[in-house]
Copies of this chain bind each other. A is one copy, B any other.
Amino acid sequence: MNIVIIGLGTGGFAAHLYAKRACRDAKVIIVDRKEFNLFHPCGLPFILDKTLDAGKLEHMLNLKGTEVLQSHECLKIIPDANEVLIQQVGTDKRRRIPYDRLIIATGSTASIPPIDGIRPLLGKSIFTLHCTDDAKKIIAKEKKHILIVGAGPIGLESAAGLRKTCKVTVVEALSNVFPRSLDTDMAKMIEEYLVTKGVMFHFGKLLSKILSESDSLVGVKIGEEEIRCDTILLSCGARVDLKMFSDAGLLIGDHGLKVNSRMQTNHKNIYAVGDIVETKIIGSEQKLPSRLATLAYAQGKAAGINSVGGDAFYHETNMAFASMIGDLEVASVGMTSKVADDSGYSVIAVKVRSTDIPEWAICDEKKHDITLKIIIDKTTLQVLGCQSVGIGAAAKVNVVAAAIASGLTADKLADVELAYCPSISNLPDVLSVACETAVRRARLS
């Protein structure tokens, strides 16, 4: 069995790992554009304030028995011949390689808004943050005021780091930070935290014009307003190039390549995983582009196993998400209130604030607050989503992830005994309290 994997990101890596694990003798060829094996884009923002060392994000793997065609890209997929046409980057060396099964895991690149004046300044005073080279350039650039476009994880984690050395303004087209993961009230906590650190925000606005003087960036227009700035970081989403796939006759949905729950495209020998595929949020009717490493890993796992004749499924994503904004942890899982509402649930949402350990156990006056919001359905008590801000947020959200996967209703989740020790956790746990309150409210309403 010849497996060809295009792209060695999280999805391609997982596909390889699980294909080889399920079938040690599978012959795998990986085609990848990079000059090294694996890269961890989630670490990029933490390079900016030197929390992380750039060198640690890129490394070589020991993929024994697997052929890795580094610095190669795929130009064309030829399903009828079960072949791909590849080319060595920077050369015109092309060749066709055959496959029994093809796994596409080409990922995404940073999105660049279609505004005049951006392209000439790219890499000089306007940056994306997609590789370590980008990060190095941003660090090297002398900057007094950076404008960050996009309040997703890359934008905000970068803002939290960069605000230590320069003025930071964040522009977000939607109405709050982390619009895909948080309700407005929870998002407000992150925004307020960053505001206390000196970060400025503009919501509901798009970058409309680049202002430059003698080829130097001097500012932007957002809406009708002018903001002076000397540097811009574009973190307004990812872009996927689907042309090669549609040329090959693969079906494309509104949010990416269409795959079934075995991660198969409409061509049964071709699988696709990660950023390029369209995924459904668990329990909802909402589809979205897949943009999380966890998701790429899980999809790669399923595709890898299936490519060697196994039987694995990836149905829906729970959207499990975490981010570290300065020293504020934020996490979420499942649907936001809006997605739940749009999906026809009658939403009960309850927000509870507590200390991470009991009030009485806090000796050194160093109080860690945690806020948790649980979203349930009024009629069935089904747990739809959870959002949390504060140290331990991801840990709470992970318990809810298990509850969502198993259909554990909020009344049962409230009753789950959680491990308690006064120097580690609280009794009752903020998660139990939130669930219990939500259930009570559902029954009263």
Residues of A within 8 A of B (CB): 10, 40, 42-43, 46, 51-53, 56-57, 59, 153, 292-295, 297-298, 317-324, 329, 331-333, 358, 360-361, 363, 392, 394-395, 397-403, 405-408, 412-413, 415-425, 427-428
Contact = CB atoms under 8 A, between A and B. Distances in A.
From A10, A46, A53, A363, residue with most partner B Cβ within 10 Å: A363
A51 B363 contact: yes
A333 B419 CA distance: 8
Contacts of A56: 360-361, 363
B294 A417 contact: yes
Contacts of A324: 421, 423-424
B424 A394 contact: yes
Given A56-B360, A360-B56, A402-B408, A420 B43 contact: no
B317 A425 contact: no
A365 to B, nearest CB: 11
Contacts of A419: 294, 320-322, 331-333, 394, 397-398, 401
A361 B45 CA distance: 12
Contacts of A298: 415, 417
Report, nearest first, the 6 A-B pairs whose CB atoms are least far apart. A395-B395, A406-B406, A322-B419, A402-B402, A406-B408, A322-B421
A212 B153 CA distance: 66
Given A53-B363, A395-B395, A398-B395, A412 B405 contact: yes
A360 B43 contact: yes
Contacts of A10: 427
Contacts of A423: 46, 51, 324
A401 B399 contact: yes
A406 B360 CA distance: 33
From A293, A363, A421, residue with most partner B Cβ within 10 Å: A421
Contacts of A428: 297
Contacts of A420: 42, 292-294, 320, 322
Contact of A294 (B333, B397, B405, B418): B418
A320 B421 contact: no
Given A297-B428, A399-B398, A422 B360 contact: no
A319 B419 CA distance: 8
B405 A416 contact: yes
Contacts of A413: 402, 405
